[in-house]
Copies of this chain bind each other. A is one copy, B any other.
Amino acid sequence: VRVRPGHELVVTTDLLIEGRHFRRGADPRALGHKALAVNLSDLAAGGATPRWAMLAIALPRADATWLRGFSTGFFALARRHGVDLIGGDTTRGPLAIDITAFGEAPAGQALSRAGARAGDDIWVSGALGGAALALRRPQLKAASRRLHRPEPRVALGQRLRGLAHACIDVSDGLASDLGHILERSRVGALVHYEAIPKDASLREIKNSSLERRCVLSGGDDYELLFTAARAVRSRVESLSRKLHLPLTRIGEIVARRGATVVDGEGRPIWFRHGYDHFA
């Protein structure tokens, strides 16, 4: 394949294992979607335009129905984002799916976790906590869609080039993924819990401790978390309107290492000193 002249290559790989990342008997169509979606989400966080993917898959047996479902989910999302499947590998084994996705960004403009600066606003797209709630309450249909059919924020990622200082997708949970930005950027953060956009399904539960776990530590939302200078606040807000996608300021980057989440009265409800040994 050929990378467009003047562009750099952004690549990512994600290994999904049955019993760890998805349940045995998971809907193959949702799986085909999600296996690609998590990789496109990584490309989005890199500010890249998706181009190609490779699929390496281990299957316990060649089950035509399963393969048809998986392919349908995979290719529907691939087509929507102009992604060509250019190769891969198939073998027999316990169900495991490894997708490598390739994207392009104009040279020097790819986004990374490094680059956040003290004084930056911290932004998040969409709403958090829905996927984590769906894991715990599978009967909640709307939340379940967040878990099984995440929508990678590809258009947003590309528009954040030249605007965001640092970017990551929320795959492990807000606290953990913010930690990756803080560690690589060598800065700290103050986050306002009340400001965090929460998935609508969380309103149905009356359990503030469960809500906090879902919002702060729940993964699988695949929203973008990014930092940007205060000076571009209005540009981010205008981008939100253009994309019909909520973009919410949830806090600010500070010079002092570590992260603190405060409640409406400014009381710390979660904190971590530094991130050097974040696991």
Residues of chain A whose beta carbon lies under 8 Å from any beta carbon of chain B: 1-3, 5, 8-9, 11-15, 17, 19-21, 54, 56-58, 86-89, 91-94, 96, 98, 100, 102, 107
Please, which residue of chain B has its CB at the minimum distance from the CB of A94?
B94
- In the complex, which residues of chain B have a beta carbon less than 8 angstroms from the beta carbon of A11? 1, 54, 86-87, 100, 102
- In the complex, which residues of chain B have a beta carbon less than 8 angstroms from the beta carbon of A19? 93
Determine the main DSSP class of A at the interface with B: strand
Question: Could you show 19 A-B contacts with beta carbons less than 8 Å apart?
Answer: A2-B9, A3-B3, A3-B9, A5-B5, A9-B9, A11-B54, A11-B87, A11-B100, A12-B87, A13-B54, A15-B57, A15-B58, A15-B89, A15-B98, A17-B92, A17-B94, A20-B92, A94-B96, A96-B96
- In the complex, which residues of chain B have a beta carbon less than 8 angstroms from the beta carbon of A8? 1-2
Please, which residue of chain B has its CB at the minimum distance from the CB of A16?
B91
Determine the distance from Cα of A11 to Cα of B2 in the docked complex, in whole angstroms.
11
Number of copies: 2
Given contact pairs A1-B9, A11-B86, A13-B87, enumerate 17 new A-B contacts (beta carbons under 8 Å).
A1-B11, A2-B8, A2-B107, A11-B102, A12-B87, A13-B88, A15-B57, A15-B93, A15-B98, A17-B94, A20-B92, A89-B98, A93-B94, A93-B96, A94-B94, A94-B96, A96-B96
Please, which residue of chain B has its CB at the minimum distance from the CB of A86?
B11
Please, which residue of chain B has its CB at the minimum distance from the CB of A9?
B1
- In the complex, which residues of chain B have a beta carbon less than 8 angstroms from the beta carbon of A98? 13, 15, 56, 89, 98
Q: Which 7 A-B pairs have the closest CB atoms?
A: A17-B93, A15-B56, A98-B98, A100-B100, A15-B89, A2-B8, A13-B56
